[in-house]
Structures are given as structure tokens and as C-alpha cells.
């Protein structure tokens, strides 16, 4: 993989990470009780999460200028890892053997696909 592809891959990975953070913000906001239904959508946490989502679009657009189209979805699969880690650390979720095996398969697929891109 050449240096340009690596740099643009890191841009895409950063965007996917930011997207995972915004998903955590949305879940935390959804766990709160609100006085009015409109407050579920018009509160600073939710608005900021959607601003982050919107910002990740620009990271994706930028990244696809320098990486092969076949590599994008592979790198975006890292979101499963981020969300799982956040779920365990922030929300106290448990990982069973089936989930751990699935995550290992995702990581193996990312590695194999990334090595084949060049």
C-alpha cells in the first residue's frame, strides 16, 4: 500500500471513529427522560451528534479521493469494533463467545482485505 492510500485510509478510519462517538451520544440521549417529545430531538447532545454525523460525510468524501472503492467498506467495518468497545466501556454491555468470535472474523477480514489492496 502506498503512502497516499495509508493517509486517506487513516482519514476514513477517523471519520468512522467519530461516527461511532456520535452514535454513543445519541444512545445516551435516548436513555434520558424528557418532559416533551420535541425535547428528545432538540437538545444539545442530539444536535451535536448529528453535526458529528454530518462532519463524517466530509471525511468519507475526502478519503475516497485517495483510496480504492473496494477498500472503503472494509475500513468502515471497523465501526463494529468501536461500537463494541464503547458498549462495554460506557454502557457496561457484556461480550459473549459468539460476539467475540464475530469480532475476530471482522478483524481477520479487514486485515486480509487491506493486505490485498495495493
Average pLDDT value for residue range 59-88: 94
Global pTM? 0.88
Average pLDDT value for residue range 37-60: 94
pLDDT at 117 over 70: no
Query: How many domains are there within the chain?
Result: 1
**Residue ranges of the alpha helices (H) in 1-118?**
3-30, 44-63, 72-76, 78-91, 97-115
**For residue 114, what pLDDT is reported?**
75
**For residue 8, what pLDDT is reported?**
96
pLDDT at 102 over 60: yes
**Host domain of residue 58:** 3-115
Contacts 24+ apart (CB under 8 A), 108-117: 109/74, 109/77, 110/74, 110/75, 110/77, 110/78, 113/70, 113/71, 113/74, 114/1, 114/9, 114/71, 114/74, 114/75, 117/1, 117/5, 117/67, 117/68, 117/70, 117/71, 117/74
**For residue 77, what pLDDT is reported?**
93
**For residue 101, what pLDDT is reported?**
96
**For residue 2, what pLDDT is reported?**
87
Residue 118 pLDDT class (50, 70, 90 cuts): low
Amino acid at each position: 500500500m502506498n503512502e497516499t492510500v495509508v493517509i486517506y485510509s487513516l482519514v476514513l478510519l477517523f471519520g468512522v471513529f467519530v461516527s461511532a462517538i456520535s452514535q454513543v451520544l445519541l444512545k445516551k440521549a435516548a436513555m434520558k427522560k424528557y418532559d416533551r417529545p420535541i425535547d428528545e430531538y432538540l437538545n444539545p447532545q442530539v444536535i451535536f451528534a448529528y453535526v458529528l454525523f454530518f462532519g463524517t460525510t466530509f471525511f468519507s468524501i475526502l478519503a475516497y479521493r485517495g483510496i480504492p472503492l473496494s477498500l472503503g467498506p472494509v475500513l468502515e467495518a471497523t465501526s463494529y469494533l468501536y461500537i463494541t468497545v464503547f458498549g462495554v466501556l460506557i454502557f457496561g454491555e457484556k461480550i459473549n463467545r459468539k460476539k467475540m468470535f464475530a469480532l475476530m472474523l471482522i478483524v481477520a477480514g479487514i486485515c486480509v482485505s487491506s493486505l490485498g489492496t495495493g
